[in-house]
Amino acid sequence: MSVFPDAVGLFFHRSASPPHFYALADRFIPWLTVIFVVLILAGLYGGLYLAPSDYQQGDSYRIIYIHVPAAWMSLFIYVLMAIMGGIALVWRIKLAEVMLISSAPIGAGFTFIALVTGSLWGKPMWGTWWVWDARLTSELILLFLYLGIISLHGAIEDQRNAARAVSILALVGVVNIPIIHYSVEWWNTLHQGPTVTKMDKPSIHITMLVPLLIMAIAFKFYYLIAVLQSAKLELLKRESGSQWVKTLLENQA
Amino acid sequence: MSLKSAFFAIIRRDLLLAFRRRAEMANPLFFFVLVVTLFPLAVGAQAHLLQSMAPGVIWVSALLAALLSLDGLFRSDFEDGSLEQMLLSPHALSLLVLGKIIAHWLVTGLPLLLVAPLLAMFLGLPEQAMGTLLLTLILATPLLSLIGAIGVALTVGLRRGGMILSLLVLPLYVPVLIFASSAVDRAASGLPVNAQLNMLTALLFLALVLVPLPTTAALKMSIN
């Protein structure tokens, strides 16, 4: 605790205690939901109504308002999971383990959404559901990494051991992601002929960009809500024998 | 006992154990040959098709053979308790683990070099690519053992870890597969392959340094 002032350390230790965190999450979730709904409505209105159609792609480009934020989230959540894995391994903070586990299915979900929306957009634009493009392939491998984490966690019965295993795997994965990404990109440039359309990036107009950024922030809030909800559930499962869960359930009953 | 002698004692012990069960040593080789044999049966025997597919086929088969042999890396030591003794020894577990990985590679990875030229001939790979094929095998099969060791260490405590092991390890094998097969592919068409070989060498050294750390952490997790 020498690096941080005592007050900061105290705050983190208190927030990391399960009952305190549970109450905190309960208090935050309604506010986060309000912000999320406002942002998503603003983003969808801006993206689907205000933004002009693209001169080449017409209206089908509008899928980026789901696709791009989901793809960003898929990477963001993985990095976040690796950070929480590091915290869980070094400081053995139970809450970091819980957040790591709860994040994995959400991240996998965003990765899946990014792949599906990309494929839906690819059909009219590229004329095919799937191309072995570098980005698509590395996103697919990212999905496999998520699934590996989820299934490893499911396979180990002891909760603490499972969390440690998953933390190690998340850290190994995050070291590998750049290597995989660049090797796939390189593989693609070596093998790909001129048959596959590589969309050159037009600089995006401001009326299209603003809704995109709003959607990206809205997705972040959605992740926060989802991860807090499932972390609450995970905490109840893990601490089901402890006193605070008993009093909580008695108060609600 | 110094660290150095402990390191070599581990390698010697694992090699000795492997040589006492010679029949098992041959299994990855048979598997490698069998998988390669399946491809012409499945896609047809057109020479030009097989020739263009040869680098990929050989490398995917080598990867599967390595994956299959991984389970034996820590299994018997985990079951008879020697792994706990290694953990209790005064030497750093990460170096002892590295010794085990090296021994595993000598037993399962290196023999692939013996049959690879035969398979390359089966598939009609041009002779000029033979040297590169052997070179990529030398550089990349230790990588397969190293990366796989992390997955094995994570799953060794599980009763049915085999399926999960492949799910964990195969995505991490992607860069190795890409660089190795593209090197062989380019060599077959007479192009320079320095970049691919350099990348494989870099990955090998990176893995040699980094892999023992998570492997040790995972083994400690599996044991308790």
- Residue A192's pLDDT is 45
More reliable by pLDDT, B16 or A50 = B16
Q: What is the mean pLDDT of chain B?
A: 89
Cβ neighbours around A127 below 10 Å, total: 9
Question: Is a pLDDT exceeding 50 seen at residue B71?
Answer: yes
Q: Do A148 and B171 touch (CB under 8 A)?
A: yes
Q: Do A180 and B161 touch (CB under 8 A)?
A: no
Question: Residue B42, CB half-sphere, CA atoms under 13 Å: how many?
Answer: 8
- Residue A160's pLDDT is 85
- Residue A3's pLDDT is 63
- Render each residue's pLDDT in chain A as its tens digit; 253 residues: 456 677 777 777 777 788 888 888 888 899 999 999 999 999 888 888 887 777 677 777 788 888 889 989 999 999 999 999 999 998 888 888 999 999 999 999 999 999 999 888 888 877 788 877 777 888 899 999 999 999 999 888 888 889 999 999 999 999 888 888 888 777 776 544 444 444 455 566 777 788 889 999 999 999 999 999 999 998 888 888 888 888 888 887 7
- Residue A194's pLDDT is 42
- Residue B194's pLDDT is 87
- Residue B49's pLDDT is 86
Q: Which residue of B has its CA nearest to A139?
A: B171
More reliable by pLDDT, B151 or B46 = B151
Full-model pTM: 0.87
Which chain A residues have a beta carbon less than 8 Å from that of B222?
161, 165
Distance CA A159, CA A37 (A): 35
Q: Do B217 and A175 touch (CB under 8 A)?
A: no
* CB distance B133 to B118 below 8 Å: no
Q: How does A132-150 read in b/e, with b if 16+ C-beta sit within 10 Å?
A: ebbebbbbbbbbbbbbbbb
- Residue B152's pLDDT is 93
What is the per-residue pLDDT across B109-119, written as a single tens digit (0 to 9) for each? 888 888 888 88
pLDDT class for B2, splitting at 50, 70, 90? confident
Closest CA relative to residue A47, chosen from A35, A34, A64: A64
In chain A, what are the domain boundaries? Answer: 26-194+207-235
Report the complex ipTM: 0.87
Instruction: Read off the amino acid at residue A217.
Output: I
* CB distance B63 to B29 below 8 Å: no
Q: Do B217 and A89 touch (CB under 8 A)?
A: yes
Which chain A residues have a beta carbon less than 8 Å from that of B160?
155
The one-character DSSP state at B211 is T
Question: Residue A170, CB half-sphere, CA atoms under 13 Å: how many?
Answer: 32
Question: Is a pLDDT exceeding 70 seen at residue B1?
Answer: yes
Q: Which residue of A has its CA nearest to B219?
A: A165
| Least confident residue range of A74-83, A203-212, B32-41, B144-153 | A203-212
More reliable by pLDDT, A58 or B101 = B101
Question: Is a pLDDT exceeding 50 seen at residue B154?
Answer: yes
- Residue A138's pLDDT is 86
